[in-house]
Every structure is written in structure tokens, then in C-alpha cells.
Amino acid sequence: MSLPQLLADRNAYHERLHRILPASLTGTTSTANDAAAAAAFVFMYVGAVDQRNAVRPTTIIWMSDAIAAHRSDEERAAYHAAAMRSEHAVKQLRQAFGQVGGKGRVAGGAYAALRIGLM
């Protein structure tokens, strides 16, 4: 089964969240924030839909722009597999994709918010 089609970039997910969860409906803008957009992107990137391809908070934190640029089903599946193994496996995948060094897109401090579901 192929993975879901992706929107153009994380900003597109942010805009989509604002349309789906407007402040007029939720009473807050915190439901459509950068961390939520990053999570939505990663969920779609790895195909975490319909109870398939579970993710951990670190799956979101370790995502980088360099990995996100790789959009074939095989590359996306490789990221999911690496993220489910370890941070070292993700670093190896980044190297295989030609990225030297670098960090994920979500700041490490966001880990606690992801863990307890505050995004």
C-alpha cells in the first residue's frame, strides 16, 4: 500500500490546521501551532493513519528538512524504520541522504509537550 500524498511543506500543514481548527471553533490558536504542524507532517510522511505505522515523539523531533525533501515511498519508509530503531539510525539515514550533521526540525524542548500531548 502506498503512503498518503503529502502537502507541499510544513507551512501547508500549519495553514491546513488553522482551517480545520480555527480559533473561533476551539477558542485558542494553540491547536494549530508549529509543533502540531510538524506532527501532522510526520504522521503523513510515515503513513501513520488507520492504525498503521505508529510513531513516537522522537519520530517527530528527529525529522529534518533534508529528510523531508526525500518523498518517495521507499525513502519515507526508510525514515520510519530508522526512527523506530534509534537516533543513531536516523543520523545514518541523514548521511545516506547526503546531509552532514544537522538536527531535527522540532526543538528538543518540544519533547515534553509531545510526550504529554500538549501540542
pTM of this structure: 0.80
Residue pLDDT, tens place only, 11-68: 899 899 888 888 787 777 667 778 888 899 999 999 999 889 999 999 999 998 889 9
Residue 39 contacts residue 69 (beta carbons within 8 Å): no
Distances (CA, A) of 105 to 27, 33, 38: 27, 14, 8
Residue pLDDT, tens place only, 28-37: 766 777 888 8
**Cα distance between residue 119 and residue 112, in whole Å:** 10
The one-letter code for the residue type at 51 is Q
